[in-house]
A and B are shown apart, each in its own frame.
Chain A
Amino acid sequence: MINQRKDHNIKAYILLFIVFAVLLTLLDLKYIGDEYVRRVLNLAAIYTIVSVSMNLVNGFTGLFSLGQAGFMAIGAYTVAIFTVPLESRASIFYVVPQNPALAGIHIPFPAALLLGGLLAALVAILIGIPVLRLKSDYLAIATLGFSEIIRIVFTNAKTITNGALGIKSIPKMPTMWVFFGVMILSVAFIVFLINSSYGRAFKAIREDAVAAEAMGINLFKHKVMSFAIGAFFAGIGGGLFASLLGTVDPKQFYFTMTYNFLLMIVLGGMGSISGTVIASFIVTIGLEVLRFFDNPLTLFGVTIPIFRAGFRMVIFSALLMILVLFFRNGLLGQKELSWGMVRDWFGRLRRYKR
């Protein structure tokens, strides 16, 4: 009986994946959707990588990290610096010439992406070593501060990052499969990690650090590991972000960007990967669709005064407050989406209709 159901589940998963692949290919080959839709979906895929990695740290390990925007900046700049074609470098670094040590180096995109992730992880380890030995309260301030500092550094290190002008003409990826492929690989890696013995150790630390330590878990090692892996994937997300937009500058990585990811993991459920994936798509698409809040709205000849620039972000920050105050578990809490759950929902819907 159990075997049969499992078999059915695998079939359903394969079917779901085929539907997803066909849809994505159709989108990719421009049969359906337009450039705007493709761009928003790619952005959602990138944000999924970052928010899932943030959930690994915040939701599964119980560390309060707010450095995601900073780690993304590291990944984005690594990709930007190393993948811009050599011939267009001089026109980008026209105010201050690029550092000669970097001027002649060009790395293919996949290697630069990986390098960006690794650099982000390295920085995370450097922050983690002093901060994570203590109570993790300080991590929030240290990471928030770090994502501000990294912006200051990138603005000032003009020979490397071109300062506030940013770096343009980063080669764009020709296919959506780059973003969605990396997303699937990243989420799969984090799911495997969470179900491994390391993942159990992370959850034990989240539930009770003292008890976990008593059971022989090396707190410091596991905390640094979770934090560094989270940073690695944020770096990867940042690299993809750079290649999606084609341009980077320090202002894009303002620390308030991290709050968007916080909204995603709270909405999806701290400690639920599938919830985070769903929430990432909802929030990213929502942030785009609800742009009309920022424009004046006229209904029946009356201009509604509350609709103007900035209203959208007020709604999103209020949403974060409402979620944490009244719906602390988000969509899925610590559970994962399963067929049983979907069936229950449909069952409830059917009963409701009657």
Chain B
Amino acid sequence: MVLVSFETFMQQLANGISIGSLYALIAIGYTMVYGILRLINFAHGDIFMMAAYFMIFSMVSFRLPWYVSIIIVIAFTVLLGVIIEKVAYRPLRNAPRMSIMISAIGVSFLLENLATYLFTGVPKGFPDIAFLTKAIRIGNISLTVATLLTPIITIILLYVVLFITNKTKIGMAMRASSVDFETARLMGININRVISTTFIIGSGLAAIGAVLWGSKYPSIYPLVGVMPGLKCFIAAVLGGIGNTTGAVLGGFILGMAEIMLVTFLPALTGYRDAIAFVILIVVLLVKPTGLLGEKVTDKV
């Protein structure tokens, strides 16, 4: 345990909130897919990785301005998410759960290998979006615009997602499907449309997360999505899987826990990635339903 100055603490607090809100953005995708399909979408972290590469290509290879690139990146990432769902998950809808999990692993493995093959394993630099990487000084604290903007964007997007799930017709269909898939189908809900919408939202958020992530950690390699992917699933479990607000809360707590570990116990910096799994084990031992999750009993 080391004592840190107030400035350092505030700086790290801002970092924690910022990285936490990035986790939150990705965790929403996990929690929504799990809520409806009961599937851990292992490919979600790799969709995030592909989005970062799309951004690199759009801005570096095609020299498009960042605001056009972001729209293109979101469009391509959403397309990728929907295609994955159609090709790899939909044919297995009535297959054993194990098969669809293996399919998810297969997609993840394929995307990682494809990225290694197409873009090589050498890290690529993320294009500098001057607007996002500009440093702002508040007192003695220096922050980038991206750090300040990420939590705000996350909160706005959380409200958009909550609006969609709670106030729109497709949102009602989503909630119905997450309670009981079969009954929802019998009630005339177009399950495939609901699931596609879920993947559209999840992939779109992952794309936005990737742009913000790249502005913060501008080194992109084929396995860049793995750790964030695993951590964000844990964030979703921590918040209560299936619960969107919970996923955001879980993401914030996880990001904060990581940054605080690095700040106060610098000797353990190497174990930064391990803290998420310690949290997972603790949550599963103490409150398996997560912070905001409801208890679900298995129906026979």
A-side residues, CB < 8 A to B, are: 58, 62, 64, 66, 127, 130-131, 133-135, 137-138, 140-142, 144-146, 148-149, 152-153, 155-156, 210, 255-256, 259, 262, 266, 270, 308-311, 313-314, 316-318, 320-321, 324-325, 328
Contacts and interface: CB of A to CB of B under 8 A. Distances in A.
11 contacts: A62-B98, A130-B284, A133-B284, A134-B284, A145-B234, A148-B227, A149-B274, A156-B270, A310-B117, A317-B113, A325-B103
- The CB with the most chain B CB atoms within 10 A, among A137, A144, A317, A324, is that of A324
Given A135-B298, A141-B233, A309-B117, 5 more contacts: A64-B101, A134-B284, A134-B288, A141-B230, A145-B276
Contacts of B98: 58, 62, 64, 270
A276 to B, nearest CB: 14
B230 A328 contact: no
Interface of B: 38, 40, 42, 87-88, 91-92, 95, 98-99, 101-103, 105-107, 109-110, 112-114, 116-117, 120-121, 226-227, 230, 233-234, 237, 270-271, 273-274, 276-277, 280-281, 284-285, 288, 298, 300
Contacts of B271: 152-153, 156
Nearest to A150: B274
Nearest to A64: B101
B112 A321 contact: no
Centre residue among B42, B113, B285 by max chain A CB count within 10 A: B113
Contacts, number: 113
B274 A321 contact: no
Contacts of A321: 88, 103, 106-107, 110
Contacts of B110: 314, 317-318, 320-321
A172 to B, nearest CB: 30
Give the dominant DSSP class at A's interface. Answer: helix
B118 to A, nearest CB: 8
Given A58-B98, A64-B101, A138 B107 contact: no
Contacts of B226: 148, 255
B281 A259 contact: no
B164 to A, nearest CB: 25
A131 B103 contact: no
A58 to B, nearest CB: 7
B114 A314 contact: yes
User: Which residue, A135, A146, A148, A316, has most C-beta atoms of chain B within 10 A?
Assistant: A148
A145 B288 contact: no
A266 B113 CA distance: 19
Between B92, B95, B121, B281, the greatest number of chain A beta carbons within 10 A of the residue's beta carbon is seen for B281
B287 to A, nearest CB: 11
Contact of A325 (B88, B237, B277, B298): B88
B40 A137 contact: yes
A317 B106 contact: yes
Contacts of B40: 137, 140-141
A66 B105 contact: yes
A311 B88 contact: no
B41 to A, nearest CB: 11
A210 B298 contact: yes
A141 B102 contact: no
Nearest to B101: A64
Contacts of B113: 310, 313-314, 316-317
Given A140-B40, A325-B92, A259 B273 contact: no
Contacts of A66: 105
Given A64-B98, A130-B285, A314-B114, A145 B280 contact: yes
A317 B110 CA distance: 5
Given A145-B277, A152-B270, A324 B102 contact: yes
B27 to A, nearest CB: 13
A55 to B, nearest CB: 12
